[in-house]
Amino acid sequence: MVGFSNELLGAKYRSAVQNATVRHPLRVKRAVASPPTVSPPPTGRARDEPARGEKCLLDGLGGRTSKSTQLLQIHLPEIDPETIMAVLRVFFAPLLVVQFFLFAGEALAQETAWMTRAVKFLSSDELEGRGLTTQGIGRAAVFLRDEFQAAGIDLSLGEKDGFQNFPFAAKSKLGADNRLELETTLTPEQDFTPLAMSGDGEFDLPLVFVGYGISAPDLEYDDYADVDVEGKAVVVLRHEPQQANPHSKFDGTENTRHAPLSTKVSNAYQHGAAAVIFCTDQFEIEKRAANAKKRLKAAIGQLDEARTSKESKEEIAKAKKRVKRWQGRAEGDHDELLAFSAGKSSMPREIAVVHCRRQAMDDLFAAAGQPFLSELETAIDDGPKPRSFELVGCRVRGNISIEREIVDLVNIVGVIPGKGPLAEETIVVGAHYDHLGRGESGSAAPDSKQIHNGADDNASGAVVLVEVARRLAQRERSSGRRIVFVAFSGEERGLLGSAHFVRNCPVPLESIVAMVNFDMVGRLRDNKLIASGFDTATQFEGWLDEINERHRFQLAKESGGFGPSDHATFYAKQIPVIHFFTGAHSDYHRPTDDFHLLNLEGMRRVSQFAVDWIAKLATVEGEIEYQQVDRPSKTAASKNPRPYFGSIPDFGSGGVGYAISGVAPGSPADDAGMQSGDAIVVLGEHKIGNLEDFDNALRKFEAGDKVPITFTRGEERIESEVVLDPPR
């Protein structure tokens, strides 16, 4: 198993961060001197004897008995000790106040300095964007674990040293044995290439041509309408019909949602196909050829210009190389194979997926007495009208071998134990610490290979999490709920860490009465702090307002417990949640989300608010009352209208079908009897292998449709019906 194990984290990565680990200056326990003991005055003192305070005052006059002193002694009334102390308080209280504020100011400066150094470290280039396959994610994990420990947080809930491990299939590469045989045996990476979304294994299958592989009832077009592809290999053209026609019902010259490879594979899988063989469409090939000729013409012009302007020999040599490069491309057949990583999918299915050059397929079609692919493409585009058929007597044989790299990710788990009658109830406080590395899946700058440091997303939240833990650990309390702190990994790939945590919860899941999440809390602007989930418990709104009276934020309370962060995993388990967020910005998921753009003072204020909020949750007596919120979150809405189903994906599941981590109360999924842990395998007549399959199948129905559904629950297979709601 590749990746970082506990042993590696404890040794290799620990040594790597020894010099970088930031220690909080206030975490060194100091011995505090006890105040001096003041004895009561002796009871046997004579009435005329000066009290200690009176004697000191007289001694301050030098002990002389001059006339002035005598006059002073004569005219001063007797001063008792209480009066002396009152006088001292009047004179010295301002000094004590000044001293207090000086100490508080120093403590505040030290606190801010620690948070600054910590978030700067987590968002530095040396942590490589905290991508899931980088060494930097391991260094971040060790750093956070050590900071929890330094804060006095108990790490015994983790499997080892505070770590909770879980596997993740991070990378794939071609294995040694990849074969494909049509009329002849093809050469891998020259005539064909498997794609990363493919399943593994050997196959020997009959062949069916299905045009562009599109089923679009709303457009009255279905390449699968008149053919049976169950258990067969389908030959599929890339893209869509009528790409050059601006009036095409397939959105003119723009691609629709039917064009992506993953959508086509999903559609093939739903129709029962066992393999997909992609071929590049003729329109794409001609477009590449035209572009290569255009680039060649430009390169020749640059060479002529370099010669006539008497550029240096080096510049002329560079211009010649450009001409040669584009001349080679212009003279090629422009039917290049796709990259192995093309068309990423959330999870591979048990279906072979390859990209094949057209020449091999044309040879096969000719042997079967069928037109070439270019002729079939033209015939389809004339309608557009499907031209699907079975290639009678033809078969494809082969084997797909893909090696998948499994890395071991870790959540970091710590706890402040509960005390008293509330000790067995739990508050979970979390923030994810992973990010996108050099622009992994999810980057808003997909062509960039720069480090995505993720200062706001979510180094800010991870540092606030540790700071909140430190402050709460310092508080003395005689009673209170258990507080579990979790730094989640794998959030950017689909809430993987929180999904693993709730499935393998180190405390009884039913003991969790509330969850607090920090994600992107480093860009406080206009004093606005967003608290999502205020209505997921009946008391939350009033408590938020009460606490905000002290902190004076412009508190924006947003409805609903579902959203694109780890709190959604807990709300799916009917646990009240609050998600703190300081707002979106144009640097989201880009290499420009850097340290210098953070509002560090804002982070400190957010942590202070959160400490008071969590302390309230941990100590308030009585039940924290979960509240169902029917309104979907803004972030859950899709820009492509489709019927509403009401399921919450479980991205961490590795089983067959579309696994769910929960359902929205009162939703169609809820009414159909589904629950957390179920996996949908059939919707209507569509076979479901993962989330893409489900999404594509759902779009083929309308609100109000009553649709048969089959899902698994453990070893049990359950059949039900679902009535779909209007889009939300």
Query: Domain 638-723: which topology?
Result: Pdz3 Domain (2.30.42)
Give φ, ψ of 93 to 5 degrees. -55, -45
pLDDT, tens only, 561-599: 888 899 999 998 889 999 999 999 999 999 999 999 999
pLDDT at 449 over 80: yes
pLDDT at 121 over 50: yes
Rounded to an integer, the average pLDDT of 334-345 is 80
Q: Do 521 and 604 touch, CB atoms closer than 8 A?
A: no
Q: Please give the C-alpha separations between residue 396 and each of 198, 261, 337, 364, 631, in angstroms, as whole numbers.
A: 16, 20, 19, 10, 50
pLDDT at 62: 36
DSSP 8-state class, residue 332? S
Q: What is the pTM of this model?
A: 0.66
pLDDT at 46 over 50: no
**pLDDT category, 6, cuts 50, 70, 90?**
very low
Six token digits for residue 71: 């006059």
Rounded to an integer, the average pLDDT of 450-468 is 97
pLDDT at 704: 86
Rounded to an integer, the average pLDDT of 46-62 is 34
pLDDT at 365 over 90: yes
Give φ, ψ of 558 to 5 degrees. -110, 145
Distance CA 261, CA 197 (A): 10
How do 528-532 and 482-488 pair as beta strands? unpaired
pLDDT at 53 over 60: no
Report which of residues 52 and 126 the model is more confident about: 126
pLDDT at 529 over 60: yes
pLDDT at 602: 96
pLDDT, tens only, 660-692: 888 887 889 999 999 988 999 999 988 898 887
Six token digits for residue 382: 């004339």
Which residues, other chains included, contact 521 with Cβ-Cβ below 8 Å and sequence gap of 6+?
456, 460, 461, 464, 580, 581, 582, 602, 603, 606
Q: Please give the C-alpha separations between residue 161 and each of 24, 149, 412, in angstroms, as whole numbers.
A: 20, 10, 9
Report which of residues 434 and 252 the model is more confident about: 434
Kind plus residue range of the DSSP H or E element containing 287 = helix 282-308
Rounded to an integer, the average pLDDT of 293-310 is 80
Query: Domain 6-18+109-170+406-619: which topology?
Result: Aminopeptidase (3.40.630)
**pLDDT category, 106, cuts 50, 70, 90?**
low
Report which of residues 81 and 14 the model is more confident about: 81
pLDDT at 95: 56
pLDDT at 696: 83
H helices of 404-495, where? 461-474
pLDDT at 645: 92
| CATH number for region 179-280+335-400 | 3.50.30.30
Q: What is the mean pLDDT of the chain?
A: 82
pLDDT, tens only, 127-138: 999 999 899 999
pLDDT at 317: 83
